[in-house]
Amino acid sequence: MQTAFTLRPFRTDDLEEVMSINRACLPENYSPYFFMNLFERYPFTFIVAAQEKSLAGYIMCRIETGFSSFSLLGISKKGHVVSIAVLPKFQHKGIGSALMKETMKNMRLYKAKECYLEVRISNISAVGMYKKLAFDIVRTIRRYYADGESAYVMAKKLSVRSP
């Protein structure tokens, strides 16, 4: 069943709810300062999905300059998805994909040429979503997470037309 949701920019009064979604969905949790710092530096790529009066999910990113995952591009600006989560009761309704598409559109405002992220190799739903959004697995980082699990680095070029 489709659930109506709205994407909108993060606001400072969303902080507590976003942190609670983060704690409910992911083992990687952060301080309030960390969330606010990403918001202050990259406000266009910190987006929430609102469902009636509460939040269903969020995405927050960082813009970096570094070597491209696609060698021909050399050094470029890259959008790094730091954290994305959708509360379990709202998953499988297209919210995660919508958050990704909106943030990739806004990454271009910062002149990012590609988008990348790390994901646990066991995270079937997230890897499935990124593949469906045309991300490639570009490498594996062994023992990337604190508990020893490895990560896939997945990346996608941001063309003028994508996503």
Determine, following the binding rule CB under 6 A, whether residue 86 of this chain makes contact with ligand COA. Answer: yes
Q: Which amino acid is at 106?
A: N
Tokens of 157: 């070029």
Q: Smallest gap, in angstroms, from Cβ of residue 82 to ligand COA?
A: 10
Binding marks (x or -) toward ligand COA, 43..82, rule CB under 6 A?
Answer: ----------------------------------------
Q: Which of 1, 4, 124, 160 binds ligand COA (CB under 6 A)?
A: 124
Contact 119, 154 (CB under 8 A): yes
| Selected range binding ligand COA among 7-15, 36-44, 124-132, 135-143, rule: CB under 6 A | 124-132
φ and ψ of 46, to 5 deg: -115, 105
Position closest to ligand COA via CB: 96
Tokens of 93: 């309704």
φ and ψ of 109, to 5 deg: -65, -25
Determine, following the binding rule CB under 6 A, whether residue 151 of this chain makes contact with ligand COA. Answer: no
Determine, following the binding rule CB under 6 A, whether residue 94 of this chain makes contact with ligand COA. Answer: yes
Q: Smallest gap, in angstroms, from Cβ of residue 109 to ligand COA?
A: 22
| Selected range binding ligand COA among 12-20, 38-46, 120-128, 134-142, rule: CB under 6 A | 120-128
Q: Smallest gap, in angstroms, from Cβ of residue 20 to ligand COA?
A: 13
The contact set with ligand COA (CB under 6 A) reads: 25-26, 84-86, 91-97, 117, 119, 123-126, 128-129, 132
